[in-house]
Structure 1
Amino acid sequence: MSIDPTPNPDRPFDAIIVGGSYAGLQAAMLLARARQRILVIDAGQRRNRFASASHGLLGRDGMEPGAIAAEGKAQLLAYPDVQWLDASAVYATGSHDNFLLRTDAGHELRARRLVLALGVVDELPPVEGLRERWGRSVFHCPYCHGFELQQGRIGVLANGELSMHHALMLPDWGQVTLLTNDTFVPSVEQTVALAERGVAIVTGAVDRISGIATVEMADGRTLDFDGLFAATRIRIASPLPEQLGCEFEDTPMGAIIRTDALKATTVPGVFACGDAARMMHSVPLALGDGALAGVATHRSLLFD
């Protein structure tokens, strides 16, 4: 279902959800079930579009991520008060009960509440061959992809302190080697902790990734792995939070939108959920976040 390109400005939506991936779909579902008049604006760029399967989601374990999102969208659009717009929201302003959004397609849309389910962009370490394998044999979440490596050989490509966390977690999923890549030097205490977990350490710069997950070192060494893990830096995939005046919170991965326990941002009437508003990222966590944001947004419409 698409919207009228010239909607009535005197009848704003109860809520506009910006982002139609997992968190946005879940927030929209609960608002739709509360019989609110809502609009979902989606640019069609799911963060996990590179992965062939999504794991850890009860009832959908191992399904193709796009199929999960498509099924959710179809179920959402069966509700009578839901509209959907394939576009990018590029500008937002306004305040409680009176927000204005503009899209790259020229729409001007008003809403009483906003739910920002914007997602994030992963900034990968600058290693040749890494991006082409992202989501296929190079991963960021052990809970999402670790089991499928069948306790095999796992490399952790260091990219700062967060890589230490990866290296200490991953021995539960396989035989782990930390590749320092001239970007991270474990302290004496960290080296002891790694040894206690059975983690090998390989120093030196990584030149490129080839094959499934073969690491070619700058000094000519070649190391074969069944999968690699790499911590990324993230950036929020939209200028809207800054335009609205939302506050941000720094994390080891990058800035996220600051929210309270009910997913309200620091701007009254604006809620945020999913990867742009939490440090830990996965489909199940995004769905839970979206559910909370949807309920909180409805409560705000009733009581604030």
Structure 2
Amino acid sequence: MEFDVIIVGGSYAGLSSALALGRAKRNVLIVDSNKPCNKQTPHAHNFLTHDGDKPAEISAKAKAEVLKYPTVKFIEGKAISASSIDKGFEVELANGNTFDSRKILLASGLKDILPEIVGFRECWGISVIHCPYCHGYEVKDEKVGLLMNGDMAFDMVKMISHWNKEVVLLTNGASTLSAEQTNQLQSKSISIIEKELSAFEHNEGYLNNVVFKDGEQLKLKAIYAKPKMVQHSNLYTDLNCEINENGLLVVDSFQKTTNNGVYAAGDCTTMFRSLSAATAAGSMAGAMINKDLVWEDF
């Protein structure tokens, strides 16, 4: 085999796994398309020793550390297909090159399908945010909105109310909250606005106003949103890996997928999307992949 492991995705989970594998003297190829989901997020938080750093700076430093190990190689490109071969796997890149390995780690994350609201894309990751643990402190005690509906909205409003006392729920159309949920939110003085949204007025991604289709405006500091997510890479279909009802790759506690020899780590496996969680999962995957290789060769 050309490599012991091919890692598809060179962000936090992929690099963390490569670090463990490089230190285990494994020949590793990282393939990365350079499309991180946090590309325009100005600062990362809730990550020890890097709180407040720029995500791109963290990943660049991580990449430099990993590539100090001579058995780890990095290619910028897109993996477009994968298949099982004798005693391993073959991965094909968009440029036509193919590489073989004994094991594969899928760590290419998720792609957010952003709603067609003017200004949403420009604000995403800056003032339109997904996680209070990642971004909540920076907008604490400010008036914020939630662009959600139904059970997810109800649960998230409860969570956000710990950081923010002024919370507005924007359902962007008819509410799907139950009567009981609606009554409970209203009892907490949480407004529910069902009007459809037209645009987010912003200054370089920092929200000023929400504009509704009737022309009314609402000033908010930030908005929490949970856009639809899909796997960034479809290699899991080539490799017959199971996904769950949320579209996430099914893994066990050792980051093994349902296909023997294929592992997955990071955002592609969990709803808890954070740098620290992805890094931890990658470290686990690297250690477990190496263990399996050692056991096979002993």
Both proteins in one fold, TM over 0.5: yes
Aligned to 2:249: 257
Aligned to 1:23: 13
1:66 is paired with a residue whose SS is helix
Runs of 4+ in 1 over 3 A off after TM superposition: 195-198
The 2-side partners of 1:180 and 1:292 are apart by: 39
Give 1:196 deviation, angstroms: 5.2
Aligned to 1:186: 177
The 1-side partners of 2:140 and 2:262 are apart by: 43
Aligned to 1:297: 289
Aligned to 1:281: 273
**Change over 3 Å in CA distance of 1:183–1:105 after alignment to 2:** farther
**Change over 3 Å in CA distance of 1:193–1:297 after alignment to 2:** farther
What amino acid maps onto 2:103 in structure 1? Answer: R
2:155 is paired with a residue whose SS is helix
1:246 is paired with a residue whose SS is coil
Give 1:17 deviation, angstroms: 0.6
1:192 is paired with a residue whose SS is helix
**1:206-249: per-residue Cα shift (whole Å, max 9, x none)?**
12111324111122321100001111110101121001111111
1:248 aligns with 2:238: no
Deviation larger for 189-198 or 13-22: 189-198
**Equivalent position to 2:89, from 94, 99, 104:** 99
Aligned to 1:5: none
The 1-side partners of 2:2 and 2:157 are apart by: 50
**1:76-107: per-residue Cα shift (whole Å, max 9, x none)?**
00012111111111110015831001101221
1:61 aligns with 2:51: yes
1:39 is paired with a residue whose SS is strand
The 2-side partners of 1:73 and 1:101 are apart by: 21
The 2-side partners of 1:242 and 1:57 are apart by: 32
TM-score (norm 2): 0.93
**Equivalent position to 1:148, from 138, 155, 175:** 138
Alpha-carbon contact 1:262-1:292 (below 8 Å) kept = yes
What is the 5 A alignment of 1:1-304? 11-94=1-84, 97-174=87-164, 175-195=166-186, 197-211=188-202, 212-251=207-246, 255-304=247-296
1:228 is paired with a residue whose SS is strand
Deviation larger for 67-76 or 83-92: 83-92
The 2-side partners of 1:288 and 1:197 are apart by: 37
2:244 is paired with a residue whose SS is strand
Q: Which runs of 5+ in 2 are unaligned?
A: none
TM-score (norm 1): 0.92
The 1-side partners of 2:187 and 2:137 are apart by: 22
Aligned length: 291
1:169 is paired with a residue whose SS is helix
The 1-side partners of 2:188 and 2:132 are apart by: 16
1:257 is paired with a residue whose SS is coil
Q: Which runs of 5+ in 1 are unaligned?
A: 1-10
Give 1:160 deviation, angstroms: 4.8
**Change over 3 Å in CA distance of 1:292–1:184 after alignment to 2:** farther
1:248 is paired with a residue whose SS is coil
2:255 is paired with a residue whose SS is coil
Deviation larger for 190-199 or 259-268: 190-199
What amino acid maps onto 2:295 in structure 1? Answer: F
What amino acid maps onto 2:185 in structure 1? Answer: L
1:216 is paired with a residue whose SS is strand
Give 1:167 deviation, angstroms: 1.6
Give 1:187 deviation, angstroms: 1.0
What amino acid maps onto 1:177 in structure 2? Answer: V
The 1-side partners of 2:256 and 2:213 are apart by: 48
Percent of aligned pairs with the same amino acid: 34
Alpha-carbon contact 1:122-1:234 (below 8 Å) kept = yes
What amino acid maps onto 2:65 in structure 1? Answer: Q
